Structure 1
Amino acid sequence: MAILSIEPLTRQAFAPFGEVVETEGLTPLSINQGYAERYNELATIDVGAEGGHINISWFVASARPAPIAIRLMERHPLGSQMFMPLNGGDWLVVVCTDPHTRSSYRAFAAKGNQGVNYARNCWHHPLLVLKDASSFLVVDRKGGGDNLEEYWLDETMQLDLRTAAS
């Protein structure tokens, strides 16, 4: 069984797969008479293919049993898909450029204040959380057309959770 190491989620490392959604390093706009800060343009939402529209959802995810097995990858050919944690819990992101090529897989440890916006056609694993009842705001596409492609791996991979804290 192939073991996949986990690296920290950074904008640069994740760029081939989409965008990291975070406020670190950004200058906020002061709003509401100075009682709030606003961060604009955190992600490029791409859902217009074949007449699609923005869909905003709330996901509540459960932790998978350890060791975490990677058996399935999916992608959305008609739109991007953004995940933003709401309860501040750390979580995991697994992506690849080609599900048939083991060397193209990458795993990232996302902090509880980091989201990701998977680019259109980016192969990714379904949501991976470390604690039960982890809530996420999800922005993706609704509308006609086939916007889900799944690939079941011939050989299961396993995440090396020891590297998640590094």
Structure 2
Amino acid sequence: MSVTGSLTLKRLTSEAFAPYGEVLEPPNQPGRVYFERALGSARAGAWPSLAFSWREPHPGGLLRVSTMERHEFSSQSFIPLGPSRSVVLVAPHAATGGPDMDRAEAFLAGRGQGVTYAANVWHHPLTVLEVPARFAVVMWRDGTVGDEEFVPVPPFDLDLDLP
């Protein structure tokens, strides 16, 4: 589990993020948009869970990455409650277990963009930029250790200095 080469932030788009889940964006005109492709739970006894999260912004520069998390049986959605930007760092599950950091990708979520991580997608804990931010967080839980898993990864720095 290491990051080879340089990992740089890319603009978050639905196409680029599709292997990991869905990009959540409100409609640009009156109406409703449904985001259902990545939502789900693989546990019959799990219940939907809604939480609110508040984060202080990272000061910029380098983000030290040393932990990844996943929700093996549940999707997890982060819905911004204000105009903030955030870092979306993801990795697929490795054949040998844990996150495959050699295939990690980093995205910059624009103001108003959220994400739904599909079940079993490794991701870095929520990191926001520039201003304090609040998010609604939706997932499924059953109260067991399978609700979430955090693992250490070989530490590396992700450059957050953006134009």
Give the TM-score category using the shorter length. 0.7 to 0.9
1:86 aligns with 2:81: yes
Partner of 1:12: 15
How many matched pairs?
A: 153
Indicate if the aligned counterparts of 1:79 and 1:119 stay in contact, CA closer than 8 A. Answer: yes
Residue equivalent to 1:148: 148
The range that moved more, 81-90 or 64-73, is 64-73
In structure 2, how many angstroms separate the alpha carbons of the residues matched to 1:100 and 1:16?
Answer: 14
1:144 CA displacement: 3.3
What TM-score does the superposition give when structure 1 sets the normalisation length? 0.81
Match of 1:72 in 2: 67
Match of 2:32 in 1: 39
Following the alignment from structure 2 to structure 1, what is the Cα–Cα distance between the partners of residues 104 and 42?
28
Across the aligned residues of Structure 1 and Structure 2, the Cα RMSD in angstroms comes to 2.2
Query: 3-state SS of the aligned residue for 1:12?
Result: helix
Deviations 1:7-53 (A, max 9, x none): 000001001111111135x7x6xxxxxxxx44231234213514111
Q: Which runs of 5+ in 1 are unaligned?
A: 29-36
- SS of the equivalent of 2:116 reads strand
- What is the aligned-residue identity percentage? 31
AA aligned to 2:141 is K
Q: Which runs of 4+ in 1 moved over 6 A?
A: none
User: Is the Cα–Cα contact under 8 Å of residues 47 and 141 in structure 1 kept in the other structure?
Assistant: yes
Following superposition of structure 1 onto structure 2, how do residues 44-63 of structure 1 map, counting pairs within 5 Å?
44=37, 45-47=39-41, 49-63=43-57
Question: Letter of the aligned partner of 1:102 in structure 2?
Answer: M
1:124 is matched by which residue type in structure 2?
A: H
Tell me the SS of whatever aligns to 1:46: coil
Q: Which runs of 5+ in 2 are unaligned?
A: none
Instruction: Indicate if the aligned counterparts of 1:77 and 1:147 stay in contact, CA closer than 8 A.
Output: yes
One-letter amino acid of the structure 2 residue matched with residue 53 of structure 1: W
The answer to whether the Cα contact below 8 Å between 1:83 and 1:136 also exists between their aligned partners in 2 is: yes
- CA contact 2:91–2:99 (8 Å) conserved in 1: no
C-alpha distance in 1, partners of 2:109/2:14? Answer: 11
Letter in 2 for 1:42: F
